[in-house]
Amino acid sequence: MMLLADEVPPTPWKNGGGQTRELLRWPAQGDWRLRLSLADISADGPFSAFLGVTRWFVVLQGEGVALALPGGEHHQRLGDVPLCFDGAAAPGCRLLGGPTRDLNLMLQGLAGELLAAQAGEPAPTRWPQRGFFEAGVHRLHWPCTTTTAPAEGWWIGVDE
């Protein structure tokens, strides 16, 4: 499957602070174990809590955000490595300079990671399932069977 993120209809948040485009959900029906989404954050406010979920977060566009995580405030900006945190933390989010667009990988009962990649870099081999999200065009390749990154972006690797 190849999917352009902007072709997925957005779902507005209940708090009015942004919208989400769900790019991948596995399984497709019922409780998900893997969820990949693109979020447009337009206002300060808390993240939703996801008990039992490991969450990866990376800024794609904009100045970034300040997240109030256990242990202190964490600034996440464009170009930073993806941040991994406990989804139950539901951090407060403060925009650092206007709206942002962010990629979120959420895993429930699965091991996995979100890894930055440059075009031509080798694919991670430790994950039986992997996908690739292209930075420039916001396109998801799932599953991705290539052995090298097709462009600048992020590998999505999971254990099942």
Establish if 145 belongs to a structural domain.
yes
Residues 22 and 93 in one domain: yes
Q: What pLDDT score was predicted for residue 57?
A: 97
DSSP, residue by residue, 25-37: EESSSSS-SEEEE
- How far apart CA 19 and CA 13 sit, in angstroms, is 5
Residue 71 class from Cβ within 10 Å (0-12 exposed, 13-18 middle, 19+ buried)? exposed
- How far apart CA 48 and CA 50 sit, in angstroms, is 7
Q: What are the residues facing 6 on neighbouring strands?
A: none
Establish if 129 belongs to a structural domain.
yes
Task: Please give the tally of structural domains in the chain.
Answer: 2
Residues 38 and 18 in one domain: yes
Give residue for tokens 């993240």: 47
Q: What pLDDT score was predicted for residue 30?
A: 87
This prediction's pTM: 0.95
Tokens representing residue 148 in the block: 């090298």
Residues 39 and 19 in one domain: yes
Residues 54 and 117 in one domain: no
Q: What pLDDT score was predicted for residue 53?
A: 97
For 147, the domain range is: 112-158
Q: What pLDDT score was predicted for residue 8?
A: 97
Q: Would you write out the chain's pLDDT as a tens digit for each of its 160 residues?
A: 999 999 999 999 877 889 999 999 999 888 999 999 999 999 999 999 999 999 999 999 999 999 999 989 999 999 999 999 999 999 999 999 999 999 999 999 999 999 999 999 999 999 999 999 999 999 999 999 999 999 999 999 999 7
Residues 45 and 99 in one domain: yes
Residues 25 and 89 in one domain: yes
Report whether 66 contacts 93 (CB < 8 A): yes
Long-range Cβ pairs for the range 24-31 (8 Å, 24+): 24/131, 24/140, 24/142, 31/108
Q: What pLDDT score was predicted for residue 17?
A: 87
